[in-house]
Structure 1
Amino acid sequence: MIAQGLVSEPVSSFYLDRNASDPIGGELLLGGTDPKYYIGEFTYADMTHEAYWQFKSVSIVEFPAVRLIIHLEAFKLCSDGCQAIADTGTSLIAGPIEEVNRLNEALGGTRMPGGTWMLDCSKVNELPSIDFLISGKKMRLDGPDYVLQLRSFGRTVCISGFMGIDIPIGPLWILGDVFIGKFYTTFDVGRSRVGFATAKRPVSSSIPHTLPMTQLRPARRLLPARKLSTPEGSFVFSRFFAADLL
Structure 2
Amino acid sequence: MRRFKRNCTNAEGGKCLGRSSHLLNKVRSRKRSVAPTTTNDTLIDVGWGSYWMGLITIGTPGQTFDVDIDTGSSDLWIPGVQCGTPCGANHTFNSSLSSTYTALNKPFSIQYGDGSNVAGIFGNDTVCIGGICIANQTFAIATSANGMSTQVNDGLLGMGYQNIATGGEMPVVWSMYLAGQLSLPIFAFWVAPVSTGSDTGELILGGYDTTKYTGYFAYASVTTKGYWEFIADSVTLTIGSTTTTIATSINAMLDTGTTLGMIASSAYANEIYSMIGATYNAAIGWYTINCHTQPLTAFPNITVTIGGVPFTLTPPMYLRIVGNPNNYYCLCLLSTGDFYDANRQPIWILGDFFMRRFYSVFDM
Confirm whether residue 121 of structure 1 aligns to residue 291 of structure 2: yes
Aligned-partner Cα distance in 2 for 1:9–1:173? 29
Aligned-partner Cα distance in 2 for 1:117–1:104? 8
Residue 204 of structure 2 aligns with which residue? 29
In structure 1, the residue corresponding to 2:187 is in which secondary structure? Answer: strand
Which amino acid is 1:133 matched to?
T
Residue 162 of structure 1 aligns with which residue? 334
Which amino acid is 1:124 matched to?
L
Residue 255 of structure 2 aligns with which residue? 87
Confirm whether residue 78 of structure 1 aligns to residue 250 of structure 2: no
Q: How much does 1:15 deviate?
A: 0.8
Deviates more, 1:157-166 or 1:121-130: 121-130
Which residue of 307, 310, 313 maps to 1:138? 310
Which amino acid is 2:281 matched to?
M
In structure 2, the residue corresponding to 1:144 is in which secondary structure? Answer: helix
Residue 100 of structure 1 aligns with which residue? 269
Residue 238 of structure 2 aligns with which residue? 64
Contact 1:115–1:164 (8 Å) recurs in 2: no
Aligned CA distance change for structure 1 residues 9 and 120 (closer, same or farther; 3 Å) = same
Please, which runs of 5 or more residues in structure 2 have no aligned partner? 1-175
Contact 1:18–1:181 (8 Å) recurs in 2: yes
Which residue of 145, 166, 182 maps to 2:357? 182
Aligned CA distance change for structure 1 residues 12 and 142 (closer, same or farther; 3 Å) = same
Contact 1:67–1:129 (8 Å) recurs in 2: no
Residue 182 of structure 2 aligns with which residue? 7
Q: How much does 1:47 deviate?
A: 0.6
Q: How much does 1:33 deviate?
A: 0.9
Aligned-partner Cα distance in 2 for 1:10–1:130? 32
Q: How much does 1:36 deviate?
A: 1.5
Q: How much does 1:54 deviate?
A: 0.4
Confirm whether residue 43 of structure 1 aligns to residue 211 of structure 2: no
Aligned-partner Cα distance in 2 for 1:121–1:18? 21
Per the normalisation by structure 2, the TM-score is 0.46
Contact 2:340–2:347 (8 Å) recurs in 1: no
Cα deviation digits, residues 122-179 of structure 1 (max 9, x gap): 3324321121111111111111111123469xx8542112101101434111110111
Which amino acid is 2:251 matched to?
Q
Residue-pair matches, total: 180
Aligned CA distance change for structure 1 residues 21 and 27 (closer, same or farther; 3 Å) = same
Aligned CA distance change for structure 1 residues 24 and 7 (closer, same or farther; 3 Å) = farther
Aligned-partner Cα distance in 2 for 1:18–1:157? 21
Aligned-partner Cα distance in 2 for 1:8–1:156? 49
Deviates more, 1:50-59 or 1:110-119: 110-119
Aligned-partner Cα distance in 2 for 1:31–1:151? 42
Aligned CA distance change for structure 1 residues 186 and 96 (closer, same or farther; 3 Å) = same
Task: Please tell me the root mean square deviation across aligned C-alpha atoms, in Å.
Answer: 2.3
Aligned-partner Cα distance in 2 for 1:13–1:94? 22
Contact 2:239–2:299 (8 Å) recurs in 1: no
Aligned-partner Cα distance in 1 for 2:215–2:291? 32
